[in-house]
A and B are shown apart, each in its own frame.
Chain A
Amino acid sequence: MNSKNLIKIENIILQRGGATVLDIPEFQVPHGRILALIGPNGAGKSTLLLMLAGLLKPWQGKMYFQGEHIESRADLAMLRRNAAVVFQEPLLLNSSVYENVALGLKFRRLKNGEIRKSVQSALDYFGISQLAKRSAKTLSGGEAKRVSLARAFAIKPQIILLDEAFNSLDPPSRETIIDDLKEILEETKITAVLASHDREETLRLAQDVSVMNAGKIVQSGTTVEIFNQPDSEFVANFVGTESILEGIVNSTTDGHMVIAVNGKSIEAVGDYSVGQKVYCCLRPENVTVSNYTRGKISARNIYEAKVSKIIRQGFFYKLTLDCGFPLVAYITIPSCEDLGIAKGGAVIASFKATAVHVIRREK
């Protein structure tokens, strides 16, 4: 058993009501990393998540936790004790915030002093110590979500599982909570698996991604790999067409940033600090190709590029360009012919700073 994997499953088949809900020959959750399960509704993400949490009854196939084979009900119970789940609804009890966060600890019959310490640190992590005495029913959506996260962390699990946990939050709360969670996961190095169908959430949180469809895992890899190199039309349609580029903010002035990507610079709008690791996301529709070498246009980002691939896609051509970093552009058929674009040819690729969507990668 590979000790770098926290959980490993082999040949799992799960049937429910006559239909096959999960069919996974092989799947691992590596230690200390954040993995996202993405896919359309009904793909089996939640089911797989519940199985990893030890909440689903015996199935066909094998599952290993920390190298141990999970077989009996006692094994499942042990897995449950080492995992914590956060659902989409906060599912808080009708008592104080303190009581809620302490719930898992109380089940373990710990001493009051120990409980108090763990609860306090969990509350501090999520910045909600001032809410300790409040009734859980009076909290806002964001506050409640923080409480359920604190509750999961308080029991110091080996793995934390989040099932579309941020779906029901308003965007500002969502952003801060995801940031905070990412920071805490990096600091505590707790393994995390999250099920999501939100691409931005996935980009911001996950280091690894597995794409699911109809109970099967169709592609696994790092986040950048999945987003930039989908290996099937299904995955491509699901992850979207943006190019995702990893970069670091070099300088920032008044809402205008210069980001270093692979030795080149990309200009974008936004307000991150220098040194911040980011993703630059760019839609292929926003990339213009020309054979201008001189003259001024308003686009800030202009690069010499070589055409590495041309693929006809329906009513346009999809160009893969190499500017020092990979770039994808959609060009109409007439334009392609007019410009005489061919594989291996040299072009100028440009896009506006305002077309670059920048997402924070790590703190």
Chain B
Amino acid sequence: MELIVQGIIKAFELIISFDPEVLGITWLSLKISGTATLISLFIGVSIGTAVALTNFYGKRLVISLINTGMGLPPVVVGLFVTILIWRNGPLGFLEILYTPSAMIIAQAIIATPIVMGISLAAIQNLPPNLRLQILSLGASRLQMVWVLIKEARLPLLAAVMAGFGGVISEVGASIMVGGNIKGYSRVLTTATVMETGKGNFDIAIALGIILLLLAFLVNLILTQIQQRQHPR
């Protein structure tokens, strides 16, 4: 218990003093996970919506695959990405192992199925005749899809928050493909693991608290957008 109090005090100190290393780590966490979430947003929402709105042979199978992808173990993703991009891997020529870009890629792979699966369900949950109604008012296919996405704004934003939550907190893939390099690919989660391994529990707890604060702030903003009701 005392340790937690120490941790809280430490977190306070680090934040107030604008400790540059901590600021750097925090900003990098936000950049990497934010970028990965944005990527997953584009890919996930578009494919999820497309699958929801089209009928094709094998649709159920595809949906099962997407839903399974939501539970991809991050550490396994990290392992596979590492093998792909290390020097002797097929993508080794890109030389992106142990870079923030690799972390973005791994996190995007983790987040995309989550966003995709929830978007799929969100669009499927709209009234079935809504699509026809919008088309009958003269919408082009693209306009129709846009209106449907806006109508499903609530669950779609939940999807984005789920994706972001999944990657801002993940550590296995980030350590493996990022290397936890000081000032370069070290983020809040990987730094927490390192400090714990070193035995610096107060710093580890402090970093954990900062991570929670960061996640809370981001989700606060997203929730505002999600819950914005039209004026009465």
Contact = CB atoms under 8 A, between A and B. Distances in A.
Contact of A103 (B127, B137, B140, B232): B137
B151 interface: yes
Contact of A83 (B133, B136, B232): B136
A220 B13 CA distance: 85
A108 B132 CA distance: 17
B11 to A, nearest CB: 40
Contacts of A53: 136
Interface in B128-148: 129-130, 132-140, 143, 147
B58 interface: no
Given A85-B132, A87-B129, A94-B151, A135 B229 contact: yes
B147 A93 contact: yes
Contact of B133 (A77, A91, A96): A91
Given A94-B151, A135-B229, A135-B232, A87 B132 contact: yes
Nearest to B139: A107
Interface of B: 127, 129-130, 132-140, 143, 147, 150-151, 153, 229-232
A95 B230 contact: yes
Given A91-B133, A133-B232, A151-B137, 9 more contacts: A81-B138, A89-B127, A91-B127, A91-B129, A95-B230, A96-B231, A103-B137, A135-B229, A138-B232
Nearest to B141: A77
A80 B136 contact: yes
A133 B231 contact: yes
Contacts of A107: 137-140, 143
A104 interface: yes
A125 B150 CA distance: 29
Given A85-B132, A93-B147, A80 B232 contact: no
A199 interface: no
Interface string A339-359: 000000000000000000000
Interface residues of A, number: 31
Contact of A55 (B127, B130, B136, B151): B136
Interface in A70-92: 77, 80-81, 83-85, 87, 89, 91
A83 B133 CA distance: 11
Interface of A is mostly: mixed
16 contacts: A55-B136, A85-B136, A89-B127, A91-B129, A93-B147, A94-B151, A94-B153, A104-B138, A107-B138, A108-B138, A133-B231, A134-B232, A135-B230, A151-B137, A155-B137, A161-B136
A161 B129 CA distance: 14
A104 B151 contact: no
B45 to A, nearest CB: 18
Contacts of A81: 138
Given A85-B133, A91-B133, A135 B231 contact: yes
A27 B140 CA distance: 28
B122 to A, nearest CB: 13
B229 A91 contact: no
B230 A96 contact: yes
A50 interface: yes
Interface in A225-250: none
A50 B132 contact: yes
B129 A89 contact: yes
A80 B133 CA distance: 11
Nearest to B152: A94
Nearest to A91: B133
Nearest to A133: B231
A104 B150 CA distance: 16
B202 to A, nearest CB: 48
Contact of B138 (A80, A89, A134): A80
Nearest to B133: A91
Contacts of A161: 136
A91 B139 CA distance: 15
A151 B133 CA distance: 11
Contacts of B140: 77, 107
Contacts of B232: 133-135, 138
Nearest to A163: B129
A54 B229 CA distance: 34
* 6 residue pairs, one from A and one from B, having the closest CB atoms: A104-B137, A85-B136, A91-B133, A81-B138, A107-B139, A107-B138
Interface in A99-145: 99, 103-104, 107-108, 133-136, 138
A145 to B, nearest CB: 13
Nearest to B132: A55
A94 B230 CA distance: 7
A229 B137 CA distance: 38
Contacts of B153: 94
A193 to B, nearest CB: 13
A155 B135 CA distance: 13
Nearest to B232: A135
